[in-house]
Amino acid sequence: MRRLWIGLTYAVFLILLIAPLSKIITSAFSGGLAGLGRALGRPEAMHALMMTGAIVVIVTLLNTLFGIMMALYLVRATWLGGKIKSLLNSIVDLPYAVSPVIGGLMIVLLLGPDSIIGGFLEGTGFRVVYAFPGMIIATLFVTFPLMVREVMPVLQEIGNDQEQAASTLGAYSWLTFRKVTWPMIRWAVVYGMVLTIARSLGEFGAVLVVSGNIMNRTQTATTLVYQDVENFNVAAASGVALVLAVFSAGLLLIMEWIKKRKEVH
């Protein structure tokens, strides 16, 4: 009986993970190395990968900054009332609960050309939706809880004793953060960053809705894969997917390494 369960587990693992991955690899190399080069060398593929890279970098930076700040406020701020805090705390999880597609839709409704804010911004020549800024916002929306939820428990666990000790020794908040709080949360932050990178690399739904998936303009790696598949260009799709998969695997390794570091600390 136990054998059966173990066998089943391996089977599921094989069918769900290994088989698709090897299929992607063989498919990506179906035209040989040159075929893969051609698939990735297409201008739209280059652009899409650049786009994804830019989104990953910007979103990770913004999410790290705001995520840490949000976590600090939610855990430490005494000037925030308890009710406001618990409200904010549940709002942070909203992106977990809401489908990314709907998240994207909310952004379109709020900032699209037909909305008040979007219309105003359009007037000043600044496009949000169907443009790069909207894609950043959409990706931020889906990744926002990742950093907050990594950092908050660490802040709660360490308590504010050490920070108070620092303040009685003459250190103001910025110095206290740099010298006392940061060294204790940094591995949680790095872990949150890796999660954010992984999520923004692979984000599809929200970005698809917000970007309009315009080739060479607002297309990301994932939406390009989607379009290639639609066009029955499976080999090209696999090529791009393989690039994403390689990055993901790298991130996975980094995550394992960080987890060990976190435990040491």
Partner 1 sequence: MHIQVRNLDKHFGSFHAVKDVSFDIEKGHLIGLLGPSGGGKTSILRMLAGLESPDSGEIAFHGQVVNDIPPQERGIGFVFQNYALFKHMTVFDNIAFGLKVKKAPKSKIKERVMELVELTGLKGFEKRYPHQLSGGQRQRVAFARALAPEPQLLLLDEPFAAIDAKIRQELRSWLRELIERVGITSIFVTHDQDEAIEVADEIMIINQGRVEQKGTPWDIYKEPKTPFVATFIGESTMVEEASVLKGFDGAGSRGQARALIRPEYIELGHEQDFPILSATEEGIVRHLHFRGSEWLVEVEVKGRKLVTYRSLEKDTLQPGQEIRVLIHRAYLFNEEDSWIEENRLKVDPMPVMI
8 Å CB contact between 227 and 240: no
**Does residue 165 touch partner 1 according to CB under 8 A?**
yes
Tokens describing residue 76 = 């430490």
Least Å from the CB of residue 175 to partner 1: 7
Query: Which stretch, 13-21, 110-118, 137-145, 156-164, contacts partner 1 (CB under 8 A)?
Result: 156-164
**Does residue 162 touch partner 1 according to CB under 8 A?**
yes
Q: Which of 106, 171, 229, 234 binds partner 1 (CB under 8 A)?
A: 171
Q: Report DSSP state, residue 1.
A: -
List, in order, residues 6 or more apart from 6 with CB less than 8 Å away: none
Residue with tokens 């435990």: 263
255-263, long-range: CB < 8 A, 24+ apart: 255/191, 255/194, 255/195, 258/187, 258/190, 258/191, 258/194, 259/191, 261/187, 262/187, 262/188, 262/191
Give 163 or 228: the residue with its C-beta nearer to partner 1. 163
Rounded Cα gap, residues 142 and 77, in angstroms:
25
Give 152 or 166: the residue with its C-beta nearer to partner 1. 166
Q: Which of 62, 140, 180, 201 binds partner 1 (CB under 8 A)?
A: 180
**Does residue 83 touch partner 1 according to CB under 8 A?**
no
**Does residue 179 touch partner 1 according to CB under 8 A?**
yes
Q: Which of 68, 146, 166, 221 binds partner 1 (CB under 8 A)?
A: 166
Q: Which residues bind partner 1 (CB under 8 A)?
A: 158, 161-162, 164-172, 175, 179-180, 183-184, 265
